[in-house]
């Protein structure tokens, strides 16, 4: 029960988010079977909710809107969503009191919905009642995240109860995407209303789900892979409801909980594979940006070739430079310190703020006497950089650098001379 309640909560949350906009339309008959079927599809329909539906009341505007869109299945789901939304909306959204159980199944007096009703009986009513009760509980939980978290779980658990009726439901609700959470259907919702709330809620999903999902998933693992599929389905259904074109990555870094996308297999292996592939493609994209001239290349093999060539060329460059450096005879040790400053100047030419030396040193060129004001400004930015290299640089180097910070007349004579080399 608790699980179902959680699942209910989840549904509500999602439904609430999606159905927030749903205007509440008066629903006609409530039947447990409807509720059940609605539950099954609620995850999908929840997000299907549309703009303009009031979440409150026993009005099933979502269903109306759905039916308006012409999707029978949507309406069914919307009903469920509405159920959820009702309780959820009241609690979370706008503190409106919603008839919880009583309004669980409100079907708009829409012909489309009415047509759906006969099909619903395939679901066991028992599970629906459980779901219904959970709705009341959903009102109590005011945490969106929990809802989101439990969404898949709730669906999963509910599914176990309704497992038998799933097939029936599927058969009966052929045109409806309904039992997708429970079954293997990935029919795309014709009504692609993607409520922003649902979107946001869903976005919260990955971050919060990771912690809870695995636990709950493990509980159900014993059932069968179907549970996993259900999870993915439910999440997918929720996701799909928003926008089928959004094949957003599940962004589950640590867990294998991935939303199975439309038309893709959902067993655990392929899900894991998909995660892996997505990660790899993401890294490949990063590499593509790093390696110059790889924008047009598509394909893993060619990209890898390019990357390998680039790394090899960089390494060869380093070798070549070191060979050259070996032949060069440095004049004085002081030069190295100057090189360091020069390097820093050159490398950080545009990042003078990060290195207070740059403005100070560059300004020192034209002025034989360090302008006090100039350097006073520089040290402000320098301190963060200054402590770091102090222990790295020798005193000589520090002396040179400090010239930028503390214009010392005694050193200044050396400064401009030495710094004049910077202009080279």
Partner 1 sequence: MKNPTTNPSSSMIRTRFAVRFLHAMKKLNKKTPAPSPYRRRFHTIRAAACASMACAVGPRKAWSRAILKKIRARTLHHYLINKSRNQQMMMIKRGNPRDEELAVGFGYGEEDDLRGLVPGGEGMGFCRLLSETAHYIKCLRAQVQVMTNVLDHYSST
User: Shortest distance, CB of residue 317 to partner 1, whole angstroms?
Assistant: 5
Closest-CA residue to 92 (of 188, 189, 200) = 200
User: Shortest distance, CB of residue 231 to partner 1, whole angstroms?
Assistant: 24
Residue 26, helix vs strand vs coil? strand
User: Shortest distance, CB of residue 210 to partner 1, whole angstroms?
Assistant: 18
Where do contacts with partner 1 occur on this chain (CB under 8 A)? Answer: 276, 279-280, 283-284, 286-287, 290-291, 301, 304-305, 307-308, 310-312, 314-315, 317-319, 321-331, 333, 335-340, 342-344, 346-351, 354-355, 389, 392-394, 421, 424
Which of 168, 348 has the CB closer to partner 1? Answer: 348
Q: How many residues does the chain have?
A: 424
Q: What is residue 89's DSSP assignment? A: I
Number of Cβ atoms within 10 Å of the Cβ of 408:
14
User: Shortest distance, CB of residue 142 to partner 1, whole angstroms?
Assistant: 39
The end-to-end CA distance of the chain, in Å, is 79
Which of 164, 396 has the CB closer to partner 1? Answer: 396
Number of Cβ atoms within 10 Å of the Cβ of 218:
9
Q: What is residue 57's DSSP assignment? A: T
Which of 218, 301 has the CB closer to partner 1? Answer: 301
Closest-CA residue to 74 (of 1, 151, 19) = 19
Q: How far apart are CA 399 and CA 378, in angstroms?
A: 16
User: Shortest distance, CB of residue 218 to partner 1, whole angstroms?
Assistant: 24
Which of 221, 276 has the CB closer to partner 1? Answer: 276
User: Shortest distance, CB of residue 123 to partner 1, whole angstroms?
Assistant: 42
User: Shortest distance, CB of residue 334 to partner 1, whole angstroms?
Assistant: 10
CB 147 within 8 A of CB 7: no
User: Shortest distance, CB of residue 298 to partner 1, whole angstroms?
Assistant: 15
Which of 140, 335 has the CB closer to partner 1? Answer: 335
Residue 73, helix vs strand vs coil? helix
Which of 1, 311 has the CB closer to partner 1? Answer: 311
Which of 218, 423 has the CB closer to partner 1? Answer: 423
Rg over CA atoms, the chain: 32
User: Shortest distance, CB of residue 102 to partner 1, whole angstroms?
Assistant: 52
Q: What is residue 174's DSSP assignment? A: T
Q: Which helix (H) or strand (E) holds 46?
A: helix 32-48
Which of 262, 348 has the CB closer to partner 1? Answer: 348
Closest-CA residue to 337 (of 394, 385, 282, 298) = 394
Which of 218, 289 has the CB closer to partner 1? Answer: 289
Q: Which helix (H) or strand (E) holds 211?
A: helix 196-221
Closest-CA residue to 255 (of 203, 214, 215, 207) = 214
User: Shortest distance, CB of residue 410 to partner 1, whole angstroms?
Assistant: 24
Instruction: Please list, residue by residue across 240-274, b when 16 or more beta carbons sit within 10 angstroms of its beta carbon and e when fewer do.
Output: bbbbbeeeeebebeeebbbbbbeeebbebeebeeb
Which of 221, 283 has the CB closer to partner 1? Answer: 283
Q: How far apart are CA 14 and CA 190, in angstroms?
A: 18
CB 63 within 8 A of CB 54: no
Residue linked to tokens 């038998």: 164
């Amino acid at each position: 029960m608790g699980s179902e309640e959680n699942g209910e909560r989840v549904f509500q949350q999602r439904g609430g988010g999606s159905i927030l906009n749903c205007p509440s339309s008066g629903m006609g008959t409530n039947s447990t079977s409807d509720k059940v079927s609605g539950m099954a599809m609620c995850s999908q329909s929840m997000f299907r909710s549309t703009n303009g539906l009031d979440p409150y009341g026993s009005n099933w505007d979502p269903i109306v809107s759905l039916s308006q869109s012409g999707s029978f299945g949507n309406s069914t789901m919307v009903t469920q969503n509405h159920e959820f939304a009702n309780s959820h909306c009241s609690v979370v959204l706008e503190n409106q009191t919603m008839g919880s159980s009583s309004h669980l199944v409100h079907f708009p007096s829409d012909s489309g919905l009415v047509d759906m009703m006969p099909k619903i009986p395939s679901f066991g009513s028992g599970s629906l009642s459980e779901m219904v009760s959970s709705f009341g509980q959903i009102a109590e939980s005011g945490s969106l995240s929990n809802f989101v978290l439990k969404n898949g779980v709730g669906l999963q658990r509910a599914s176990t109860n309704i497992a038998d009726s799933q097939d029936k439901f599927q058969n009966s609700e052929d045109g409806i995407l309904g039992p997708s959470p429970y079954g293997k259907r990935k029919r795309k919702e014709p009504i692609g209303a993607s409520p922003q709330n649902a979107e946001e809620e869903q976005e919260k999903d990955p971050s919060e789900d990771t912690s809870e999902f695995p636990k709950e998933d493990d509980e159900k693992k014993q059932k069968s892979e179907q549970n996993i599929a259900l999870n993915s389905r439910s999440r997918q259904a929720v996701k799909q409801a928003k926008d089928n074109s959004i094949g957003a990555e599940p962004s589950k870094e640590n867990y294998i909980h991935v939303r199975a996308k439309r038309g893709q297999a959902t067993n655990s292996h392929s899900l894991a594979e998909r995660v892996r592939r997505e990660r790899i493609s993401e890294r490949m994209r990063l590499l593509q940006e790093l390696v110059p001239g790889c924008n047009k290349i598509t394909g893993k093999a060619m990209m890898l070739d390019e990357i390998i060539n680039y790394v090899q060329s960089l390494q060869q460059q380093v070798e070549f430079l070191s060979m050259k450096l070996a032949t060069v005879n440095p004049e004085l040790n002081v030069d190295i310190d100057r090189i360091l400053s020069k390097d820093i100047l050159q490398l950080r030419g545009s990042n003078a703020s990060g290195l207070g030396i740059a403005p100070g040193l560059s300004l020192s060129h034209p002025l034989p006497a360090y302008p006090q004001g100039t350097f006073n400004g520089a040290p402000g930015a320098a301190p963060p950089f200054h402590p770091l290299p102090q222990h790295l640089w020798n005193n000589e180097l520090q002396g040179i650098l400090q010239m930028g910070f503390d214009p010392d007349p005694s050193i200044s004579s050396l400064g401009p001379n030495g710094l004049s080399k910077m202009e080279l």
